[in-house]
């Protein structure tokens, strides 16, 4: 979904409103109205809003959607190179692959503090299993390592731990 045209339309309307406030401000100074300085502030504020909307109409605000990816929750992020996501325990290996790719796309940021030794971000996927009543055990099902240097990393290393899927609870019929 591309919302840039909508921001451009909002920019146009905001620009028209800014010009109207500017004209009203000039009129207020000519006629010596008491609210003329408030209108200066309002016009300045509208200039800032118009500039912000214009900037949003230039930058792409699209999100990559990976088909087959399930919803996940971020449970740990050190702001640099390590993150952990939680996934449902009825996930399949193909859904895990898509979900790891989605998380790698979503969690990428230019502002991460990973510049240094390996320049890679590690995203681990886990679920919680309950082998006995009252006992919860985290079970890591896979991980992805992606570059922190470029947004479009074609060399992501995705590892799926096939042996761990046998430990997942079987769905009840």
DSSP, collapsed to helix, strand or coil, labels residue 145 as strand
- Integer Cα distance of 94 and 78 in angstroms: 27
- Integer Cα distance of 53 and 46 in angstroms: 10
Residue 1 near residue 62, CB atoms below 8 Å: yes
Please list the pLDDT of the chain residue by residue as tens digits (173 residues): 567 788 889 999 999 999 999 999 999 999 999 999 999 999 999 999 999 999 888 876 667 888 999 999 999 888 778 899 999 988 899 999 999 999 988 887 777 765 555 778 889 999 998 888 889 999 999 999 988 877 777 788 899 999 988 888 877 66
Give the domain ranges of the chain. Answer: 4-58, 73-167
Look at strands 137-147 and 73-77 and give their pairing. Answer: unpaired
| 107: nearest Cα among 67, 147, 138 | 147
**What per-residue confidence (pLDDT) applies to 116?**
56
**What per-residue confidence (pLDDT) applies to 62?**
67
- Integer Cα distance of 23 and 10 in angstroms: 20
């Amino acid at each position: 979904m591309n919302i840039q045209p909508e921001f451009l339309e909002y920019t146009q309307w905001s620009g028209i409103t800014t010009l109207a406030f500017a004209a009203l401000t000039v009129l207020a100074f000519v006629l010596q109205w008491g609210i003329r300085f408030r209108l200066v502030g309002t016009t300045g504020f509208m200039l800032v809003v118009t500039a912000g909307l214009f900037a949003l109409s230039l930058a792409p605000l699209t999100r990559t959607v990976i088909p087959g990816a399930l919803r996940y929750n971020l449970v740990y992020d050190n702001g640099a190179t390590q993150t952990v996501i939680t996934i449902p325990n009825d996930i399949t290996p193909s859904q895990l692959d898509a979900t790891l790719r989605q998380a790698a796309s979503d969690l990428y940021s230019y502002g991460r503090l990973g510049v240094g030794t390996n320049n890679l971000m590690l995203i681990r996927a886990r679920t919680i299993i309950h082998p006995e009543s009252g006992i919860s055990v985290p079970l890591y099902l896979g991980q992805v390592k992606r570059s922190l240097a470029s947004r479009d990393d074609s060399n992501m290393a995705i590892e799926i731990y096939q042996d761990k899927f046998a430990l997942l609870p079987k769905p009840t019929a």
